[in-house]
Structure 1
Amino acid sequence: MGTAIPELLAELLPLVAYTIAAGVLTIGGFAAEYASMQHVGAGETTVAFWLAAIGCVMLYAGVYGLGYQKVLARLFGVAE
């Protein structure tokens, strides 16, 4: 009975960490994409393309890499 709490925490902590990391990457990706659009409007296309590329990678990592493959896989018991 006393080992149930540590086992629960051992399962819950990685899920919480992956969820937070996925959220941070996704928000950062949206921010980079927004900044990219601002630079396009200002005529700074080189910076805009770099920010767009970084934003795409962050969105992919946040939404698919961590959010879908790690968080949802752990929540619904799907094999990774």
Structure 2
Amino acid sequence: MSKKERKAEAQQCWKQSIALAPFDGSDEAAYHLGMYLGGLWHPSGKKYLELAAQLGNEDARKEFKSQVNILESYFDGEYEER
């Protein structure tokens, strides 16, 4: 099995777990799939992170909170360009 096929199979497994929502593990599957797909910076990743947060996943909620903190720091003038 190629690397590409293994990645596709992993995504399919996560999606099957998510389909079981709101049962145990569906929030974790949504979180991991969201992070795998690019996190908050990619529409597909954001979609699954939002679902994970709605299902109560604390890691997903932390992702959104950290993003808000970054944006608040930037607009408050605390952010320094490198």
Normalised to the residue count of structure 1, the TM-score between the two structures is 0.38
Structure 1 or 2: larger helix share? 1
Structure ID, larger Rg: 1
